[in-house]
Amino acid sequence: MPSQRPTGLDPSIAARLKRDAHGLVAAVVQQHDTREVLMLGWMDDEALHRTLTTGRTTFWSRSRQEYWRKGDSSGNVQTVREVRLDCDGDALLVTVDQVGPACHIGNRTCFDDGLLPAGPG
């Protein structure tokens, strides 16, 4: 679980967030010009603060229990263009300039391989 230590996140932004039981908010990442949905990551207050202040997406890894900045090991950097909070305060939309694939298995998006049948027709 991410630490509960104080962060540099603006208190007025922090007050608007509705975090899950682990202190996290879902962050949907979208290519700014094509609107293609690239991935979903998780942010706590510190990850959001880092994202807003550095211009690079930072997430909390639930499996590794640590912060990670997209592209530091792969070179597939996400440069932040805009961050929006949804009306409920429990999800973020992060629009980015994506360099290379966004998915850790090498696909352009994490949603390239998961088409499910839905609805009539």
pTM for the whole structure: 0.90
How many Cβ atoms from other residues are within 10 Å of residue 15's Cβ? 9
Each residue's pLDDT tens digit, 2-51: 655 668 999 999 999 999 999 999 999 999 999 999 999 999 999 999 99
Got the DSSP string for 1-62?
----S--SS-HHHHTT----TTS-EEEEEEETTT--EEEEEEE-HHHHHHHHHHSB-EEEET
For residues 121 and 22, the model is more confident at 22
CATH of domain 13-93: 3.10.20.810
- The angle subtended at Cα 75 by Cα 104 and Cα 43, nearest 5°, is 60
User: Mean pLDDT of all residues in the chain?
Assistant: 93
Task: Say if residue 111's pLDDT is above 80.
Answer: yes
Q: Where are the domains of the chain?
A: 13-93
